[in-house]
Amino acid sequence: MSNEMSIRSELTKGFFRENPVFAMLLGMCPVLGVTTTAINGIGMGVASLAVLLGSNTVVALFKDLIPEKVRIPAYIVVIASFVTIVDLSMAAYLPDLHRSLGLFIPLIVVNCVILGRAEAFASRNSLAYSVIDGLTMGLGFTMALGMLGAVREVLGSGALFGFAFVGEDATTMLLFVMPPGAFIALGFLIAAVNTAVKKAKAFAAARSRAVSTQPATEGVN
């Protein structure tokens, strides 16, 4: 029972409760740097997801073999190898996306989310949990990037996933595709998501209180 519950909580934690971007403010450089469109954001998210999944798997497999003292350099080499694989594969198969993400693909190496998960999770948990952790954290990261990319694309270019829904000569808020817009849009997005999560939590707590008090009142009657 408790095992099932924890798998379920592992599967959902990356989206809101422990979302690397909204809840922990980690890995902000690519979040701000590449999200001028939803496609770019999702592409970056998926690239990070692939690296995170690979590094979590390898770190979990070799955690007993890696000496305590050199663990951080060892993790960095593992991560850097996966980043190189992703970098070269994207250059070969998705040259356009690779060009628009530019510098931020090799910079996945220094994304604190990935090293953070290797250190805080994969080095302490079994392979299966580490894979799940990599998957959900990566998806949560992708979701955050996609959301910010969508907001910026809609406001800044009047389009979504490349399909324009305003006329050619319409005035859009260009600010949002420029650097300042990234900071401002992310600030408001985090505020909105955190408020929504807090409301949902309060609602769930109120409901569980109502459910747990019900049998007691019945008992009294």
Partner 1 sequence: MTGDYMTIVIAAMLVNNLVLVQFLGICPFLGVSSRLSTAIGMSAAVMFVMTLAAIATYLIRQFLLIPFELQFLETVSFILVIASLVQLVEIVMKKISPPLHQALGVFLPLITTNCAIMGVALLIVQHGYTLGETIVFAIASAIGFTIALVAFAGIRERLALMPVPKAMQGGPIALVTAGLLSLAFMGFQGLA
Residues within the interface to partner 1 (CB under 8 A): 25-30, 32-33, 72-73, 76-77, 80-81, 83-84, 87-88, 103, 106-107, 109-112, 115, 175, 178-184, 186-188, 190-192, 194-195
The phi, psi pair for 165, rounded to 5°, reads: -120, 15
Does residue 123 sit in helix, strand or coil?
A: coil
Q: Compare residues 30 and 138 and give the one whose CB is closer to partner 1.
A: 30
Q: Compare residues 112 and 135 and give the one whose CB is closer to partner 1.
A: 112
Assigned token pair, 217: 């009142």
Q: How far apart are CA 33 and CA 36, in angstroms?
A: 8
Residue 40 Cβ vs partner 1, minimum distance, rounded to whole Å: 13
84 and 92 Cβ atoms separated by less than 8 Å: no
Name the amino acid, one letter, at 179.
P
Residue 60 Cβ vs partner 1, minimum distance, rounded to whole Å: 21
Which of 163, 134, 140, 135 has its CA nearest to residue 38?
Answer: 163
Q: For the stretch 132-162, what's the b/e string if a residue is b when 16 or more beta carbons lie within 10 angstroms of its beta carbon? A: bbbbbbbbbbbbbbbbbbbbbbbbbbbbbee
Q: Compare residues 25 and 164 and give the one whose CB is closer to partner 1.
A: 25
> Helices (H), strands (E): how many in the chain?
8, 2
Residue 19 Cβ vs partner 1, minimum distance, rounded to whole Å: 12
Residue 86 Cβ vs partner 1, minimum distance, rounded to whole Å: 10
Residue 151 Cβ vs partner 1, minimum distance, rounded to whole Å: 13
Element of type H or E holding 97: helix 95-101
Q: Compare residues 19 and 132 and give the one whose CB is closer to partner 1.
A: 19
Q: Compare residues 34 and 132 and give the one whose CB is closer to partner 1.
A: 34
